[in-house]
Amino acid sequence: MTTGETMGWLRAMVGAVLVVSPAAILRLSSREAPSGASVLLLRTIGIRDLVLGAGTVSASRRGSAPDARRWIWAGLASDSLDALAGLGSVRSIGRKESAGAAGAALAFVVGDVLALGRGRKQERLTLASGQ
């Protein structure tokens, strides 16, 4: 399994959890009961991650490096913007929640960057071997 496919599976699993149990996830990080709006928001984030993850896995399994790379880049863009939004939310949600949101997104940013780098390395090795 490639790093890209692994990242796709991780993203899809996180997305599925957010779709199925957004209120449970919100209760882990909040002192108050989740609102309907926050549950809906987390569920939509889950849908986005489920789609990005499934697209990455599908492209990786087909052996389509350019398609897999596009899906990983889309995830990287999404995760990077999520991290920035988390950091920019200190005033509205507090330092601890802001750091947690940014940290979760940054973990995926690191994974995305690793997947892109390893994918490029694998492509170079494949080209060099003449396959």
DSSP code string of 19-45? HH-HHHHHHHH-SSPPPHHHHHHHHHH
Residue pair 116/65 in contact (Cβ under 8 Å)? The answer is no
Q: What's the pLDDT score for residue 30?
A: 66
Q: What's the pLDDT score for residue 13?
A: 97
* pLDDT tens string 54-104: 999 999 999 888 999 999 999 999 999 999 999 999 998 889 889 988 999
Q: Determine the Cα–Cα distance for residues 75 and 78; give it in Å rounded to an integer.
A: 5
Q: Is the pLDDT of residue 11 over 90?
A: yes
Q: Which two tokens stand for residue 7?
A: 């990242």
Q: Is the pLDDT of residue 19 over 80?
A: yes
Prediction pTM value: 0.84
Residues spanned by the domain of 42 = 3-129
Q: Determine the Cα–Cα distance for residues 51 and 12; give it in Å rounded to an integer.
A: 7
How confident is the model over 15-34, as a mean pLDDT? 86
Residue pair 15/50 in contact (Cβ under 8 Å)? The answer is yes
| Average pLDDT of the residues of the chain | 89
What does the radius of gyration of the chain's CA atoms come to, in whole angstroms? 17
Whose CA is closest to 4, among 126, 125, 127, 123? 123
| Count of the separate structural domains present in the chain | 1
Q: Which two tokens stand for residue 95?
A: 């330092």
DSSP 131: -
Report how far Cα 73 is from the mean position of its chain's Cα atoms: 11
* Banded pLDDT at 127 (limits 50, 70, 90): low
Q: What's the pLDDT score for residue 115?
A: 92
Q: Is the pLDDT of residue 44 over 70?
A: yes
Over the range 68-98, which residues count as b (16 or more CB within 10 Å of their CB) and which as e? Answer: bbebbebbbebbbebbeebeeeeeeeeeebb
Q: What's the pLDDT score for residue 82?
A: 95
